[in-house]
Amino acid sequence: PTETAWDVGRKAAEVLVERYTQENGEYPKTLGISVWGTSTMRTGGDDISEALALLGVRPIWDGSSRRVVDFEILPVSVLQRPRVDVTLRISGFFRDSFPNLIDLFHNAVVAVASLDESPSDNPLAAQVKQETDDWLQVGLSQSQAQMRSHYRIFGSKPGAYGAGLQGLIESQNWQDEQDLARAYINWSSYAYSSSSPKGAPEAFEQRLKQMQIVLHNQDNREHDLLDSDDYYQFQGGLTVAVRGLTGKNPQTYFGDNSIPEKPKVRQLKEEIARVYRSRVVNPKWIEGVMRHGYKGAFEMAATVDYLFAYDATANCVADHMYQGVAQGYLFDPDVQEFVQQKNPWALRDMAERLLEANQRGLWQSVAPETLEKLRAIALQAEAVIEGENFGIV
């Protein structure tokens, strides 16, 4: 990472630890963060810097080139808090573009795990020691057991990208959240380290079972977490995987590094509520996308999909938000007419997605007449698509 990115990441780490400690009355021990290649290129490495700072490790830059040549471990007395055991879920693009950062982080993990510190100050070292013993018990060699217990970087297998959830959500091809958890784990359980990547589902599940925090950061305000399926696939996927294995939701946070001097962290629910108010049901935004015809209607339908998918994976959408979307996108006569004329497929998809949210128990407090209206809109859109309204026999 660059020195500027280190500065942002270090501040973001302190803000996060402070927020978690205020809310839970204790320091965090374990955390999972998604790290993307695109944001790493934009920022110079905010996310990896935050992960290193949480571990209590600082990069060392070469005097003239300012390239990272090594790292130093900061003592707990300097950190003034315990270290955090950090797991990275890297994107395929990050894996392809930044093998040097994979090496750097893995070596930092190994170094921190070898420190002689108390378990309360260094939960990573305590966990590695415990797991090495556990793997030895089941017949692994000393070197295999140590390697497996050090794994802290996971991603899709070489050549694969994404997190494996979009197909299931899009096709409605899942029974319950265990299906989503399994799909995410299957897609994400390749371990990356200084040696060649290995499929390591047991090691990945071990990390998930311990995970207290799931964090995702955003470095700009040019888009938001309901603009792309990647946000829910990575953060929601990690959250549903933890819930699938432990039975309870981890703490989900969304980091906002758009003002680098002043990183903020919000609970995921707060960020969803912020985006919902500022964009999703904002009449100015709806008016704006309506100038873009077919694509504008498509953007509205995509927003509904991602809102639903975030709720299915991270349980973070309030009932009133589904009601608000139904009201703003489907029940408003002008907007409904626009979508039906420009993109009847989007109208049908939005109505069906909201009905699915109700069927799956995500949108619970809803009036029967609202559901009736949605069914009628879905049928009406289907009729337009089938061509009945165009006089085609």
Pull the structure tokens for residue 237.
């996927």
pLDDT in tens, 277-318: 999 999 999 999 999 999 999 999 999 999 999 999 999 999
Look at residues 269, 346, 348 and name the one whose alpha carbon lies nearest to residue 310. Answer: 269
Q: What is the phi/psi pair of residue 218, to 5°?
A: -130, 135
Position 63 scores a pLDDT of: 84
Q: Judging by beta carbons within 10 Å of its beta carbon (0-12, 13-18, 19+), is residue 371 exposed, middle or buried? A: middle
Look at residues 141, 115, 118, 146 and name the one whose alpha carbon lies nearest to residue 130. Answer: 146
Position 391 scores a pLDDT of: 46
Pull the structure tokens for residue 282.
């904002």
Q: Is 329 left (phi over 0), alpha (psi -120 to 50) or beta?
A: alpha
In the chain (393 residues long), the average pLDDT of successive 10-residue segments reads 95 98 97 97 96 97 89 96 98 96 97 96 97 94 94 97 93 94 97 92 96 97 93 97 97 96 96 97 97 96 97 96 97 96 95 97 95 95 77 43
Q: What is the phi/psi pair of residue 190, to 5°?
A: -90, 130
Task: Report yes or no: 311 and 362 within 8 Å, Cβ to Cβ.
Answer: yes
DSSP 57: E
Strand 264-267, strand 57-61: pairing: unpaired
Ordered by start, the domain boundaries in the chain are 3-267, 281-388
DSSP-based three-state secondary structure for 29: coil
Q: What is the mean pLDDT of the chain?
A: 95
Q: Which contiguous run of DSSP H or E holds residue 36?
A: none
> From CA 234, how far away is CA 294, in angstroms rounded?
28
